[in-house]
Structure 1
């Protein structure tokens, strides 16, 4: 049985409100209430998006990123700020790297 998109939307709105309240009243950096509210919000979003797609054939313009600790470590290693210190290169006609001024 498909979930009513309107009921799923109401649940999503309530989850957004609860998440905001948890963030606004956070008790420290690792407040479990914020983590719990995040999980409830993510679940409510997925239910709404699925219900919208099933009943109306539509989707939201959002997606939930998959959490992967390995990707986070890789992203840290290639931060854009680190690229600012690299020398700029030009390419000659044969696509060989040539330092500017060479």
Structure 2
């Protein structure tokens, strides 16, 4: 884990860029390069969120879910998460979305 939030953010952005590159050059539905990049994004995000908490007592409005912990994954489109208990995805945290006012944020 990177303890400094700015450094953790940089690692997260790099992981997202590698994931984009892997997805753009994907050779099959379960391309191992894409799967690895996907997991790197989830790991980097968790490190960034932890660094924010440690440094500022803040978190992002996102959460990393694992397929075996959350039955709501059944609602996701695509086969990437089905049947793989180690797969994770990043989504809005249910508890944090209640206070968001998206209409005001677009003005």
* Structure 2 equivalent of residue 53 of structure 1: 53
Deviating 4+ runs (over 3 angstroms): 69-73
> What is the TM-score of this pair, normalised by structure 1?
0.65
Distance 2:3 2:53 in 1: 11
> What is the TM-score of this pair, normalised by structure 2?
0.62
* Structure 2 equivalent of residue 90 of structure 1: none
* Structure 1 equivalent of residue 42 of structure 2: 42
* Structure 2 equivalent of residue 11 of structure 1: 11
Distance 1:44 1:72 in 2: 23
Higher strand fraction: Structure 1 or Structure 2?
Answer: 2
Which segments of 5 or more consecutive residues in structure 2 lack a partner in the other structure? 76-107
Distance 1:69 1:17 in 2: 27
Distance 1:43 1:50 in 2: 11
The root-mean-square deviation of aligned C-alpha atoms, in Å, is 2.3
Aligned residues: 74
Which segments of 5 or more consecutive residues in structure 1 lack a partner in the other structure? 77-102
Distance 1:23 1:52 in 2: 28
Q: Of the two, which has the highest radius of gyration?
A: 1
